[in-house]
Structure 1
């Protein structure tokens, strides 16, 4: 069996920046263990599996697809950058004739549409509620050391902990953090954290409304370069804090990437980004 596979750098317009995802096109259902082995072989933060839903569907003509995401260690219920990469493969490589695509996923229906030189993802938004810092103090200490914290929130739906640094810090402080990922896992005594967002308000005269970094060693991802799913939480949080519906976000990992965020009034958020395909080939099974 040959499976077409692509590596796509998401949320960037430059190769070797943004967040790389592997995208596999499958017409017949693959067993979970095969998907997991492929994802481990690709060894990227996410490998996406796009499946046609009907025997007469093709990747160039259908508008509805099945979509699953696997990290090197497990399947996850939501991934933004691998969804963006999947839409890019369908729109740009398979020359899909539809202006909008629907993906059937573990998080329900997700949508992607073309908008100029960007692809817009239509995702559910996730709110984060106040979290007692004392309950996660060891995790925060491991992540940011003695830096001052302005806010701590938790998203139950995504199992993501959001830690906001004090507004007096600048971007370089966030970029300088080097948390030990094994220590992060050991320092979470709650057992409910699957991802850690560290975020910072943008400078008043800067290009970005907010910055972030994202760590998920609990899912086999020490640091994710650019994370769409984290921005379903960040979009809600910073929209409330800044009083804005449209924002430009920067995830300032070593690869870096940016997202255009638009919070809607229907419990959804639009995340727009660009992509670069850097590899195409076939998996031989």
Structure 2
């Protein structure tokens, strides 16, 4: 088996920042177990597999492809940064001629289109609903101790728990906050929660770049202690902060150690455009 493989840093214009994803191009069907084995070998938060939908399709000419995402431990239904990385590989390395690509995925059809300063992902928006604190108190306290919480929401579609910290906290507090993810899968083992979002309100117009909100994302349930930059989490965050700030156009920053920027635009049709840059840092051949 020989597969072209790439690593791209997504949601950044600078190498070694953003969120790295591996991208494999499949000329033909891959054995089912091999997807997980390759993802485990790559040991990144996600490995993406792009496949042709028809034998006559071409990675340079076609505009529709199948796309799947795997963490080192399991397949996931949606991954924003690995979708961005996949589009970057097709646009910039394979020289795909189309302006828009459509990926057929577990979450339906997702589109990625060229932009002057990045790639725009066309994703669904997932609403959040108020969550009773006492139902998730043990989980939150295990993760962040006695940190003050302003609001708690739950996304039924994505099984993500959104915890908004007090407005008395700023970006530097969120960045330095020590989050204990190790006990979380044992505390929440019903399957209701598969990801934890921590977020704080931004400081538009400040001395630094104006961001509308900041976040961090944790998914130990799928083998990811902390994800550097998470497009799928922003399908939830965009819904929440759009309501809170009464804005449709927002700029977000994910406060991981690597960090990443996302430009967000909510559309009237109930979807969201998420724009980010990507830098391809490795290309080679996987042999096994």
Alignment TM-score, normalising by the size of structure 1 = 0.98
1:1-20 pair list within 5 angstroms = 1-20=1-20
1:33-48 pair list within 5 angstroms = 33-48=33-48
Q: Is the 8 A contact 1:125 1:267 kept in 2?
A: yes
Deviation, structure 1 residue 204? 4.0
Q: Is the 8 A contact 1:8 1:21 kept in 2?
A: yes
Whether 1:221 and 2:224 are equivalent positions in the alignment is yes
- Residues 11-57 of structure 1: CA distance to partner in whole angstroms, max 9, x if unpaired? 00111100000000001111221000000000000000000111121
Q: Is the 8 A contact 1:136 1:189 kept in 2?
A: no
**Cα distance between partner residues in 2 of 1:123 and 1:254:** 25
Q: Is the 8 A contact 1:248 1:260 kept in 2?
A: yes
Runs (5+) with no aligned partner, structure 2: none
Q: Is the 8 A contact 1:113 1:121 kept in 2?
A: yes
**Cα distance between partner residues in 1 of 2:33 and 2:272:** 32
Deviation, structure 1 residue 99? 0.2
Whether 1:257 and 2:274 are equivalent positions in the alignment is no
Deviation, structure 1 residue 117? 2.1
**Cα distance between partner residues in 2 of 1:84 and 1:163:** 26
**Cα distance between partner residues in 2 of 1:280 and 1:238:** 37
Q: Is the 8 A contact 2:216 2:256 kept in 1?
A: yes
1:171 alignment counterpart = 171
Tell me the secondary structure at the aligned position of residue 182 of structure 1: coil
Alignment TM-score, normalising by the size of structure 2 = 0.97
Deviation, structure 1 residue 190? 4.8
**Cα distance between partner residues in 1 of 2:36 and 2:204:** 44
Q: Identify which of 276, 280, 285 aligns with 2:279.
A: 276
Alignment RMSD (CA, Å):
0.9
Q: Identify which of 237, 242, 245 aligns with 2:240.
A: 237
141-150 vs 115-124, which moves further: 141-150
Runs (5+) with no aligned partner, structure 1: none
Whether 1:113 and 2:113 are equivalent positions in the alignment is yes
Q: Is the 8 A contact 2:144 2:180 kept in 1?
A: no
1:28 alignment counterpart = 28
**Cα distance between partner residues in 2 of 1:277 and 1:161:** 31
Tell me the secondary structure at the aligned position of residue 40 of structure 1: helix
1:149-160 pair list within 5 angstroms = 149-160=149-160
Deviation, structure 1 residue 181? 1.8
- Residues 203-244 of structure 1: CA distance to partner in whole angstroms, max 9, x if unpaired? 243310000000000000000000000000000000000000
Deviation, structure 1 residue 261? 0.4
